[in-house]
Amino acid sequence: MWKIYSLLIAVQFLFIHSVCAQGSPAWEHPLLTCTSTDGINFNQPVLFQDSSGVPCAIRWKGDTLICTFQWFREPMGSPTWDRVAVKFSYDDGSTWTNPVPIVINNFPSSYQRPFDPTLVRFANDSLRIYYSSRDGLSGVPDSLINTYSAFSTDGIHYEFEPGARADHPSQRLIDPAVAFFNHSWHYISPKGAPQDGAYHFISPGGIQFSQVQDIPSDSMHNWTGNYLVMDSTELRFYGCGGARIWYNSTPNGGVWNGYVSTNIQGGDPTVFRKRNGIHQLIFTGATLPTSLDEIHSLSNSIEIFPNPIENEFTIRILDPNEDILHFTLTDISGKILHEGTLEEKKIIETNSLASGIYFLLLNTSKSKAVKKLIVSGS
């Protein structure tokens, strides 16, 4: 039991201390989501989407929400690998559809594939997606990464809008965030290192942005994230860096009041408010291990299926010589939910578990391993 406990501690350490998206490939990170009554203290995160990053979620119309993000569903090179995708919620954020890659009609073949998406809604319920790209063949200043856009009426099919929305003469523009506040469209793009702050552009119509005074920062606050319009007197920006996700607020888009830290560690945050005033946060979580193996691999000895899981999953021993003695199912905090001994086959029901990421710890006389499981619900 001490070996299992030690492994649980190792898993918790990996989750808590691996800050999102900076030290490992983007496809090794999930999107997580959680809620809060005040936008500061959030509850336990659960899985929103595996192998994804850079989310932006907005209210579209009525109870319909839309979230766009960069999707890395394997295998590499497939239509779902490193593509901008969207998910919809038709019940104010309680449940979400499966992701669908977007389509941008008339997108120039010489341009780099879109990345770092952000969404905005217009008064007639149409949508504009802003994203990073570059003209890879031009060889002129436009060959730097700039912000481009496309227009949609259904959230999936977009029409390319020629020209850059924001274009710096000598620096790249990535990770854009855009919002309409006090009669102007505001645009932010992080300049580089956190202490460099962010570029700030404004536009009357959301097409042609003009650069204004940059936003200062420090080494603990990276302006990579998204805007949230609270009301006509307060615009928030949720960002990352340092120990926690944070927000800053402004009454005019240019003068900021100061940083407020949340209780969540992660990156690329986006926050929207539900009809009842609850704040829902979607963010890039820490890298989660798919396996930890101290002595030898168990991949040829056991079979665990299905994964993702709806109502139950099965552990089947394939190698009759493998003496798997014990299994433990935990949540991402390390809380033990189910444990027991293994024989040839074991079926474990998950009906009582919330959607999210869980760990199955397997202990033999020779080794121990951890398998990441995704419970998606029925």
Residue-level pLDDT, tens digit, the chain, 378 residues: 433 333 333 333 333 333 334 456 777 788 999 999 999 999 988 888 888 999 999 999 999 999 999 998 767 777 778 999 999 999 999 999 999 999 999 999 999 999 999 999 998 899 999 999 998 755 554 558 999 999 999 999 999 999 999 999 889 999 999 999 999 999 999 998 889 999 999 999 999 999 999 999 999 999 999 999 999 999 999 999 877 999 999 999 999 999 999 999 999 999 999 999 999 999 998 765 543 333 345 666 788 899 899 999 998 888 777 666 688 888 765 678 888 887 778 899 999 988 877 888 887 766 667 788 888 865
pLDDT at 10: 36
199 backbone φψ class: left, alpha, beta (φ>0; ψ -120 to 50): beta
CATH architecture of 2-10+289-375: Sandwich (2.60)
pLDDT at 137: 57
Contact 56, 68 (CB under 8 A): yes
Going by C-alpha positions, the residue among 241, 257, 235, 149 that lies closest to residue 190 is 241
Helices vs. strands in the chain: H and E counts, helices first = 1, 28
How far is 246 from 373, CA to CA, in rounded Å? 29
pLDDT at 148: 97
237 in helix, strand or coil?
A: strand
CATH of span 20-284: 2.120.10.10
Residue 374 identity (one-letter amino acid): I
Query: What are the boundaries of each domain within the chain?
Result: 2-10+289-375, 20-284
Query: Phi and psi dihedrals of 338, rounded to 5?
Result: -160, 140
β strands within 37-122, DSSP E: 46-49, 52-61, 64-72, 81-89, 100-101, 103-105, 115-121
pLDDT at 2: 37
pLDDT at 287: 66
**Cis (ω within 30 of 0) for the bond into 216?**
no
The β-bridge partners of 104 are 158
Token readout for 152 is 């949609």
Going by C-alpha positions, the residue among 96, 94, 58 that lies closest to residue 228 is 58
pLDDT at 291: 39
Query: Phi and psi dihedrals of 320, rounded to 5?
Result: -65, -15
